[in-house]
């Protein structure tokens, strides 16, 4: 008997089926998969049929690519029952409902809906996908750049009826695997998005030029489009704009986006202030000054750091930063605004709080904000440093000397950022029995402590953006008073480590030097933390 041809389906939204799906997946067939990709296929081919899958995160973190890869890996039978919908701003849930009914009646069982948060009524009507179509047996994957919209939807319409897959956080080990980059400095410069790898994996020049955080302008544009508008659009769509809370006055005045920008900048200014106050006058600077002074190569031998009044330089930079901060605060951003915006930035997984502990149990931990996108932080800090170094006080130095001072400050910024990256990624990889934190004393600190609550023991770390071993690097790790106070609260110190950019080596005093890039690559997968065999051979410390 001849095959009966199905009538042509007439859709109201932008639906792609058949050969169009095959064409969509061609360009990504040879691309590496995100670590979270297994979660997507686990949902598609699992036996659970009453939930939808949400793939969300900030722009340029691989969401649409994951959808295209999932389509490209389907069998012919499943592909024939699959549809891809690209939502548009003028679409609404009524139109989507009618198209999904047509698809279901025609035998389609896999539906990918990209940019679903563009629909204004998505957040308040999202239960349609889970309670109706997923319950009928359809596998529905929703993706969009307004990840705050998904966060709000999961708290209401999709509560307990969604499987979330987060793409914003891209750890070093995954970034390195996806883009073939083995340099922690490269990750500091551009880490946070995958834009650098979407054009040509082998062309370094193209990748650098197309990176999201290649300069201050591109970084501001990304913050504006991927973060600020994300928050503003999601709040405007949620409960007809009734969830703005204290932010409504800023939204009504058209200043919400600029306020979010200023708060992100303010956090980065405070970060730079801490770098200047803690590191610019540190032993490391004096050590660098001595090394530059006795450099064997006459062309590299300079005494600029001896002649620069570091206290005056630091004070001048601090004054400029404080003046700028005061100007920003004068336009009426209140603590309530800051608290709510920080809450939304946390929901977007842009920032994570990793409190600083002390050895005194009754002392309240200090707030310590970590950025999950290092390229954003470094680019803003870099731009700010260059602006500050144009101050008249620096004009007396030669261009060469100004460059050396600038490079030194940026080296300190990279060092502090490397600390934050190690803290964040170790914290993300740790299981429930381990706490990760920075431990601060009246003078000095341990850059990271891994506390095994079950065994009541700990490992202590110094993190150095250096490739050489110097005794001053581990002086705190060998400080008897600091170690005694640490053991009183956090149990026996099981290991002392310096994470740096050189080769692995064990010192005679028991301090172990470990390559930071190898350490980050060997961290266990976050989804496997409960079952992984985390031995000292795989990680070094007690994780």
C-alpha–C-alpha distance, residues 501 and 465, integer Å: 7
Q: What is the pLDDT along the chain (543 residues), one digit of tens a residue?
A: 444 344 567 899 999 999 899 898 888 888 999 999 999 999 999 988 889 999 998 888 999 999 999 999 999 999 999 999 999 999 999 999 999 999 999 999 999 999 999 998 999 899 999 999 999 999 999 998 888 889 888 888 888 899 999 999 999 999 999 988 899 999 999 888 886 433 333 334 334 445 667 777 777 778 887 888 888 888 888 877 778 888 888 888 888 888 888 788 788 877 877 776 665 554 444 555 666 566 666 665 666 556 556 666 666 656 655 545 445 444 567 888 888 999 999 988 999 999 899 988 888 888 889 999 998 888 888 877 777 677 666 667 777 777 777 787 788 889 999 999 999 999 999 999 999 999 999 888 999 999 999 999 999 999 999 999 989 899 999 999 999 999 999 999 999 999 999 999 999 999 999 999 999 999 864 333 333 333 333 345 555
Are residues 370 and 364 in contact, defined by beta-carbon separation less than 8 angstroms? no
Helix (H) or strand (E) holding 269: helix 256-279
- The packing angle between helices 229-237 and 147-155, to 10°, is 40
Question: 54 by DSSP, 3-state: which?
Answer: strand
Q: What are phi and psi of 468, to 5 degrees?
A: -120, 160
* Main-chain dihedrals φ then ψ at residue 299, nearest 5 degrees: -70, -25
Is this model's pTM higher than 0.95 or not? no
pLDDT at 100: 96
Q: Which residues, other chains included, contact 469 with Cβ-Cβ below 8 Å and sequence gap of 6+?
A: 498, 500, 502, 505, 507, 513
Beta bridge partners of 505: 513
Q: DSSP letters of 390-413?
A: TSGGGTTS-HHHHHHHHHHHHHHH
Burial 399-429 (b: 16+ CB within 10 A, else e): eebbebbbebbbbbbbbbbbbbbbbbbbbbb
Phi and psi of 132, rounded to 5°?
A: -110, -70
For residue 439, report the phi and psi dihedrals to the nearest 5 degrees: -115, 120
Q: Are 171 and 523 in contact (CB under 8 A)?
A: yes
State how far the Cα of 261 lies from the Cα of 397, in Å rounded to an integer: 33
């Amino acid at each position: 008997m001849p095959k009966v041809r199905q009538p042509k389906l007439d859709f109201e939204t932008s639906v792609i089926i058949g050969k169009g799906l095959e064409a969509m997946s061609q360009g990504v067939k040879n691309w590496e998969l995100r670590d979270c990709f297994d979660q997507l296929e686990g949902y598609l081919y699992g036996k659970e049929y009453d939930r939808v899958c949400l793939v969300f995160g900030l722009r340029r973190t691989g969401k649409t690519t994951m959808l295209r890869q999932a389509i490209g890996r389907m069998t012919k039978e499943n592909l024939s029952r699959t549809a891809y919908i690209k939502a548009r701003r003028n679409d609404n849930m009524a139109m989507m409902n009618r198209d999904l009914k047509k698809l279901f009646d025609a035998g389609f069982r896999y539906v990918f809906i990209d940019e679903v948060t563009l629909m204004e009524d998505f957040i308040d009507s999202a239960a349609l996908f889970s309670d109706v179509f997923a319950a009928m047996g359809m596998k529905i994957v929703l993706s969009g750049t307004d990840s705050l919209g998904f966060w709000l939807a999961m708290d209401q319409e999709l509560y307990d009826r969604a499987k979330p897959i987060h793409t914003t956080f891209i750890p070093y080990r995954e970034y390195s695997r996806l883009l073939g980059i083995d340099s922690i400095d490269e990750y500091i410069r551009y880490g946070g998005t995958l834009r650098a790898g979407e054009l040509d994996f082998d062309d370094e020049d193209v990748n650098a030029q197309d990176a999201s955080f290649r300069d201050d302008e591109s970084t501001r544009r990304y913050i504006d489009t991927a973060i600020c508008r994300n928050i503003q659009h999601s709040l405007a769509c949620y409960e007809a704009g009734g969830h703005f809370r204290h932010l409504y006055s800023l939204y009504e005045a058209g200043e919400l986006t600029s306020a979010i920008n200023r708060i992100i900048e303010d956090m980065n200014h405070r970060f730079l202030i801490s770098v200047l106050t803690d590191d610019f006058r540190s032993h490391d600077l004096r050590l660098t000054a001595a090394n530059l002074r006795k450099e064997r190569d006459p062309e590299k031998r300079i005494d600029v750091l001896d002649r620069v009044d570091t206290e005056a330089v630091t004070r001048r930079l601090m004054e400029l930063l404080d003046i700028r901060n005061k100007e920003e605060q004068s336009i009426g951003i209140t603590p309530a605004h800051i608290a709510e915006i920080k809450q939304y930035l946390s929901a977007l997984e842009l920032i994570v709080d990793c409190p600083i502990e002390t050895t005194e149990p009754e002392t309240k931990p200090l707030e310590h904000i970590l950025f999950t996108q290092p390229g954003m932080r470094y680019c803003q800090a870099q731009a700010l440093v260059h602006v500050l170094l144009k101050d008249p006080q620096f004009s007396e130095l030669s261009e060469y000397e100004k460059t050396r001072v600038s490079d030194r400050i940026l080296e300190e910024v990279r060092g502090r950022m490397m600390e934050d990256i190690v803290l964040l990624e170790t914290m993300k990889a740790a299981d429930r029995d381990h706490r990760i934190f920075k431990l601060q004393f009246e003078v000095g600190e341990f850059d990271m402590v891994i506390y095994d609550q079950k065994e009541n023991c700990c490992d202590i770390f110094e993190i150095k953006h250096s490739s050489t071993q110097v005794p001053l690097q581990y002086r705190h790790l060998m400080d008897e008073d600091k170690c005694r106070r640490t053991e009183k609260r956090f149990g026996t110190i099981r290991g002392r480590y310096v994470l740096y950019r050189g080769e692995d080596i064990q010192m005679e005093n028991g301090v172990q030097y470990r390559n930071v890039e190898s350490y980050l690559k060997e961290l266990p997968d976050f989804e496997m933390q409960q079952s992984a065999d985390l031995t000292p051979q795989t990680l070094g410390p007690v994780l």
